[in-house]
Amino acid sequence: MPTLLDVAAPAKLNLFLHVTGRRSDGYHLLQSLFTFIDWQDTLHFDCRADGVISREDLQPSNALPADDLIVRAARRLQAATGCPLGVHIGLHKTIPMQAGLGGGSSDAASTLIALNRLWKLGLSRAQLSELGLSLGADVPFFIGGRSAWVEGVGDAITPLDVPPTTYLVVKPPAGLSTPEIFSHPSLKRDTARVTITGFVARAAQEARWTGSNDLQPVAEMLCADVRWGIAELAKRGLDGRMTGSGSAMFAPCTHDTPTNGWPDGWLARVCNNFNVHPLFGWC
């Protein structure tokens, strides 16, 4: 039976994130700039002839839910295509959960891309993205495979290269729930839309590709760790902000920026961004 080993699922940063409206179904309209960073999960896929989808946690201490997004992605692809094959998936997870780093969505995207290849299904990138959107708003970005300007509910994607940048990424012990942030009454939902050309012109002129995250004020209300982390980054002379719905934060920095001195339970890591997903050529 064929296998695919060491399949990468990189994390993402939202360099800015604006909430520009809300649809009648409750989903929010966003504008955001996404880029990949070199912090990744790794997946292994062993084809099964019996049609069963199974998943093994290669670090059992993570205690992932049995019905996580990877298993749901595989089942959804199987159902959509009528594929009789199954798969055993090994997951080596290093991206923290409830961080806004897109780990779960990235795992699901890499699963769809890898199984499309392993099961020889021949689905296009657009077809995989449509399936991905039904699993989570960030999944189509990972399937798109390029740093991107993302609008709508995560489905309107325009590739946009971001200059190579080094970031200090910190994740406090506390996580944040995406639905809780989006449903909070204090969330600002009417930020004026900006254009890509306007944003790029300003970013190039100021050499600053970051902007504000509208989810951060609510996250700071709900999570003392986020308040403290942003203040601590500022104390270190760094311009920090939250990624996605948190609780991880990041700040542009130099490659020799120290990662020590954070309290017990915090993760701190110097990462570099990149513009093309490792599996870009697979679909």
154 binds ligand C5P (CB under 6 A): yes
12 noted as active-site residue: yes
In the set 12, 93, 171, 214, the catalytic residue is 12
Write out the H or E segment, with its range, that includes residue 45.
strand 28-48
Provide the minimum distance between the beta carbon of 149 and ligand C5P in the complex, in angstroms, as a whole number. Answer: 15
* Sequence-distant (≥ 6) Cβ neighbours of residue 61 within 8 angstroms: none
In the set 107, 138, 214, 225, the catalytic residue is 138
Total number of residues that touch ligand C5P (CB under 6 A) = 11
* Sequence-distant (≥ 6) Cβ neighbours of residue 17 within 8 angstroms: 30, 31, 32, 212, 213, 214, 215, 243, 244
Provide the minimum distance between the beta carbon of 3 and ligand C5P in the complex, in angstroms, as a whole number. Answer: 29
> Which residues between 108 and 137 bind ligand C5P (CB under 6 A)?
136-137
Comparing C-alpha atoms, which of 114, 110, 183 is closest to residue 141? 110
> How many CA within 13 A on the CB side of residue 249?
27
- Tracing tokens 């695919």 back to the chain, one arrives at 4
Alpha carbons 21 and 219: distance in angstroms, whole number:
19
156 binds ligand C5P (CB under 6 A): no
41 noted as active-site residue: no
Provide the minimum distance between the beta carbon of 215 and ligand C5P in the complex, in angstroms, as a whole number. Answer: 10
141 binds ligand C5P (CB under 6 A): no
The residues binding ligand C5P (CB under 6 A) are 27-28, 30, 136-138, 153-154, 178-179, 182
